[in-house]
Amino acid sequence: MNRSSDRWLAYFLILPVVAAVLAFVLGPTWDVATLSLTQFVMGQERGFGTLVNFEALWADPVFGTVVVNTAIWILGGTVFCVLTGLAVGAYLAIDSKVTTALRALILLPWVLPDVVTAMAWKWMLHGQVGVIGDAFTRVGLSDQPISFLGDPDLVMWMLVIVLVWRKMPLVALILCAAIRSVPAEQIEAARMDGANAFQRFRHVILPNISFSLTAVTVISMIWITAEFTLPWVMTGGGPANSSQIMSTYIYQQSFQFFNWGVGSAMSVVNLVFLMAVVGLYLYINRRSWAAGGSK
Amino acid sequence: MKLDISRRGFLIGTTAMAATMGIAAGPARAATGSLSVWKFGGTPAEVEAWPAANERFLADNPDVDLDYSFFNGQIRRQKILAGFQTNRLADVIIAFGQDIPEFAGFGLIQPLDDIATDGQIDDWKTRLVPEVMSSGMHDGKLYGVPTYVDMASFLAVDMDALAEAGYDRPPATWSELREYAKAMTKPDRPGIAFPATTAPVDINIFEGIAYANGGRVFDEESGKVQLNEAGMVDALQLYADLIADGSTPAGTSMTETNFRDTAQLFGQGRAAMWIGLSWLNTPWGTPEGFNWEGAPFPRPDAPSGSFPPVAAIMDGTAVLMVSSRTENPEAAMAYIDFWTQNEQLNTWGGNPEIARVPAGKDAWNSPGLAEAWPNWVSAYNEGNFFAGAEPMPRFIGVSAVESALATAIQQVVLGQKTPQEALDEANEAAQAQIDLLRG
């Protein structure tokens, strides 16, 4: 076959994927974008080409809290998820019988359904009957029961901890695989040159896994942004909106208040926020991203 | 006078008229075709009883292809909305009475008056308690048939704890409630607990207390949210006072404990009283030999709201409605008609379900109900049970207002704001939402 027919065959082969992306990604995104510029409540369209939904958002006293909580949720969740994932992944990369077993066991939190995870943690963290608060009291860390999910100052960070517990295993396994693929001779050469364990990790392993690290960070950020079940089942956005994040508030506006226009406007803000953070992150890490992509 | 009609015409006309009347008055014909039903929420006994009744419906209507689905009550709004938008809404929807104004306003459901056969609704009225049936009405039309109602607010009392504190009857007024709760509090067991999450039932429980104090969340006539009126503020002050008295679990704990969890904690002896709906602990169970009683929630010493104080507020959570997009209204109405028969309505007559206030008149004669709730049955027989009861809040935008109210309750329970401050803020936020929704 000549080069021209090869090109047409390539186009033909990617056609189903392009069609799927258009139908399931770009189509709904466009729909949400236009809906955000439409006053649409209770199933009735009341005019297109208006910024009334965005104005309602800015005027909403809850929205500021939602933005701050969402920043904690996405940025805190991603940072802790990747950092603990990296630490656990580095440990799992060591060859031993224990780590071999742990590589399989660590996926347990990942395979549990979201609702089961949320309900189990909700009860473990409960102020009156939770085992975690009870353990704190028994060892003398607290003189009274702690309501981890009922305390407005603690609740967002508790959600982040549960999120990390749930999402970190896959991050750890991906990074473990990346670390194990680092050429042994490079590590050995660094060791012969007198590099200690930290220096070998910093100057040999990290540069080698930078592409995987960047990819897994971006993917984690997207996962966490889309996560709804954990916060909704555990707190419902409470107490007093102190764990209200974009995904729960979009749900509330759209499906509880039937206010689709405002829900869509919030989705657009969420998308722009995510694109900005991911874009900035990829720009900062453009070298490792480009190097990995060219391999 | 001479009629301008031939004998032949007269005979055809009168025969057709007689035939029509005969069809209308005769026994209901068996329905045919496919029929989809979505049921949302229910107690464990109802979840089992409903499909069993469906089998009886199919036996009576063998030509109906029934597709019955059960869903969690919390997801009903998005499920129904998604079904409507994708044109895949079930023919019959069994949801909450509080949903009716919004579903009707949205065009999701249709008035049953428009599709009922002659005399059908009058026939239902002979078997349904009028006060309960009227909770299916909206704008003068019947949009849904309730099979039972839940009422707010009630108080479950650990009778051993009550006696231990030196009392022989449940508290009757707010001031008595504070006194009892304080006296019944022990270091490891609060005197009273109430749920304060954002769950709709938790909000309904508070609304029952506030409405009894002459409060309202919304005034339909003026279109104004009423959250910061005295009736509401003073009811929320009662919550604040109970916490300040040291009679409750920590505020942080109550904001993470919903009605179901609070009921379970009461059953485990972790609170001496709890505030709930009419079913109190019955769906969630109590240990064998646990000595408890249910009582109406104490009345305010002097109602302070500007509206008439109610005895209770009520809502059905299994109200049968017909989708506006049904292609088989005959089968849908046959299904609703089936559920208005005594055999089905007796599901809530104490066997198998004792947790609800039945809609069927015949269910009130059931020995099971009399055994479970003797005070209810005697009050019903005296004609007092529904006296002064009103439907739970129901209007377009009710979810937005109740959500703002839930936030205010939590702010007060956590000690972040006074009731007046929290409800002023909630009122403003809710009014903005209402204005946006109502245009």
Residues of A in contact with B429 (CB under 8 A): 60-62
Instruction: Identify the closest residue of chain B to A237 by CA–CA distance.
Output: B198
For residue B353, pLDDT beyond 90: no
Minimum distance, in Å, between the CA of residue A224 and any CA atom of chain B = 22
What's the pLDDT score for residue B100?
Answer: 95
The torsion of the CA quartet B137, B139, B142, B148, rounded to 10 degrees, works out to -10
Of B107, B198, B250, nearest to A127 by CB-CB distance is B250
Output the CA–CA distances (angstroms, integers) from residue A79 to A83, A109, A203, A213, in the order listed. 6, 19, 21, 12
- The strand pair at B389-391 and B312-315 is best described as parallel
Domains of chain B: 31-147+316-391 (3.40.190.10), 152-314+397-438 (3.40.190.10)
Reported as a single tens digit per residue, the pLDDT across B270-318 is 999 999 999 988 888 788 889 999 999 999 999 999 999 999 999 999 9
CB pairs < 8 Å spanning A and B: 117
Q: Specify which residues B390 forms β-bridges with.
A: B313
Look up tokens 């006060």; give the residue. B131
> What is the rounded CA–CA span in Å between residue B356 and residue A25?
46
Residues of B in contact with A255 (CB under 8 A): 77-78, 81
Domains of chain A: 64-294 (1.10.3720.10)
Look up tokens 């109190």; give the residue. B280
Alpha-helical runs (H) found in chain A? 3-21, 27-36, 52-59, 61-71, 77-92, 97-105, 108-111, 114-124, 131-138, 155-180, 184-192, 197-200, 206-226, 229-235, 246-251, 260-284, 286-294
Q: Do B256 and A126 touch (CB under 8 A)?
A: yes
Nearest partner of B316 among B384, B389, B378, judged by Cα = B389
- Show which of residues 38-97 on chain B sit within 8 Å of chain A, judged by CB atoms: 77-78, 81, 84-85
Reported as a single tens digit per residue, the pLDDT across A116-153 is 999 999 999 998 889 999 999 999 888 888 899 999 99
- Show which of residues 26-45 on chain A sit within 8 Å of chain B, judged by CB atoms: 39, 41-43
Predicted ipTM of the assembly = 0.82
Give the global pTM. Answer: 0.86
For residue A294, pLDDT beyond 80: no
Of A239, A241, A257, nearest to B399 by CB-CB distance is A257
Best A57, A62, A255 residue to mutate vs chain B (most B CBs within 10 Å): A255
Reported as a single tens digit per residue, the pLDDT across A158-189 is 999 999 999 999 999 999 999 999 999 999 99
What's the pLDDT score for residue B229?
Answer: 97
What's the pLDDT score for residue A263?
Answer: 93
Residue B248 touches partner A, C-beta closer than 8 Å: no
Residue A150 touches partner B, C-beta closer than 8 Å: yes
Residue A236 touches partner B, C-beta closer than 8 Å: yes
Predicted confidence band of residue B11 (pLDDT cuts 50, 70, 90): very low
Residue A256 touches partner B, C-beta closer than 8 Å: yes
